[in-house]
Amino acid sequence: MLTYERIYAIVRQIPVGQVATYGQVAELAGLVGKPRLVGYALYRVDMAAGDVPWQRVINAKGEVSQSPQRNGTDYIQRAMLEDEGIEFDSGGRIDLRLYR
């Protein structure tokens, strides 16, 4: 299976209302130490297709990763997670003990 497809297969298993970190997904996909590769793979997901719940992958701090290359999708990601019932604290973080 291609690397990106392994990543997508893992991400498809994250239930609604739960999250995983880039590092967790990398580890489960057999890509230990390569969380950025997970980020690159998710950046390429067609959001309109909707078959890969990319929004459920966050950084190890419990935050939505911010980047100008994301063209505003970081705000969309947070809104999608909130729609799934995930709550952010005042610092923009998710309680990983609760939602991971």
Query: Are the C-beta atoms of residues 25 and 11 closer than 8 Å to each other?
Result: yes
CA–CA gap between residue 35 and residue 79 (Å, rounded): 23
pTM equals: 0.90
- Domains of the chain, with CATH numbers? 3-99 (1.10.10.10)
The pLDDT, as a whole number, for residue 71 is 65
- pLDDT tens profile 42-66: 988 887 778 999 999 999 999 998 8
The pLDDT, as a whole number, for residue 92 is 93
Pairing state between β 20-21 and 57-58: parallel
- pLDDT tens profile 61-77: 999 988 766 666 778 89
